[in-house]
Amino acid sequence: MEFNTDIRAAKYTRDIAYATMENSCYRHNPCDKAKFEVSAHNFIDLSEQGYGLSILNDCKYGFEVHERRMMISLLKGPLNPDPQSDFGEHNFIYSLYPHAGDWREGGTLAAGLALNNPMHVVPLGGGDGPSSGSFMSVTAANVTLEAVKKCEAEDAFIVRVAEKTGASADVTLSFFKEIAEACECNLLEREDVPCAFEGNQIQFTIRPFEIRTFKIK
């Protein structure tokens, strides 16, 4: 699927795991020519000063931008080794998301996440508890919640966040009840370092494209 735009830009942005990165819109050299199609996760974006267009998707990962044309590969069915590879009916969603400013100012990151993780309404029974709430929340718009899981080795929650726009931010993680213990660990959930907390919150500063993992009790 190809979209011709009137946007003039030297580079476009694509969303990848735990980060975003830029690629050239023009094929000036063999390296750029070899990257005629690249992988992306939630979105790609082409922006000029003051305006841009993002393509959001929920399960398609092959994209291409050539000068002002934005392309998304919807289906690829090779004949070898399976001559009927991917035959059948396919269901997926992609969206055009025009915005003011660049993709950071226009909220493309949040729009891509919302498309992939739509909000579900769950009716609650009666009782004296709160009428609404959240297991946890993140204050910084440029920081994504990448994982919430049980710890592999002990009775604790693992919470992983990542900065995805290339900007430092002051972050507050708020939980549904008060914290008993908190530490920061590596991606293998080891090398614990105690971190400060107060009540049900942890506050910290995250650096551009940094990944932080916390172990919470």
How far apart CA 151 and CA 183 sit, in angstroms, is: 12
DSSP run (H or E) holding 110: helix 108-116
* 12 CB burial (10 A radius; 0-12, 13-18, 19+): buried
**What are 157's two structure tokens?**
């929650």
The model's confidence at residue 9, banded by pLDDT at 50, 70 and 90, is very high
Which residues make Cβ contacts (< 8 Å) with residue 186, sequence separation at least 6?
Answer: 213
Mean pLDDT value across residues 147-168 = 94
As a whole number, mean pLDDT of residues 170-177 equals: 93
Residues 59-118: tens digit of each pLDDT: 999 999 999 999 999 988 888 899 988 888 999 999 999 999 999 999 999 999 999 998
| Whether pLDDT at 2 is above 70 | yes
Q: Distance between CA atoms of 114 and 108, rounded to whole angstroms?
A: 10
Confidence class of residue 135 from pLDDT cuts 50, 70 and 90?
A: confident
At residue 87, the pLDDT reads 87
CATH number for the region 2-116 comes to 2.70.98.30
- Bond prior to 78 in cis (omega within 30° of 0): no
CATH architecture entry for 136-216: Sandwich (2.60)
Tell me whether residue 191 is exposed, middle or buried, using C-beta atoms within 10 angstroms of its C-beta: 0 to 12, 13 to 18, 19 or more. exposed
pLDDT of residue 129 exceeding 90, the answer is: no
pLDDT tier at 33, thresholds 50, 70, 90: confident
Q: Which is more confident, 120 or 214?
A: 214
Mean pLDDT score, 126-133:
68
From CA 158, how far away is CA 152, in angstroms rounded?
A: 9
- Rounded to two decimals, the pTM is 0.85
User: Where in the chain are the domains?
Assistant: 2-116, 136-216
How does residue 191 score in pLDDT terms, banded at 50, 70 and 90? very high
For residue 85, the model assigns a pLDDT of: 85
What confidence category does residue 131 fall into, taking pLDDT thresholds of 50, 70 and 90?
Answer: low
Q: What is the DSSP letter of 30?
A: H
pLDDT value at position 130?
A: 65
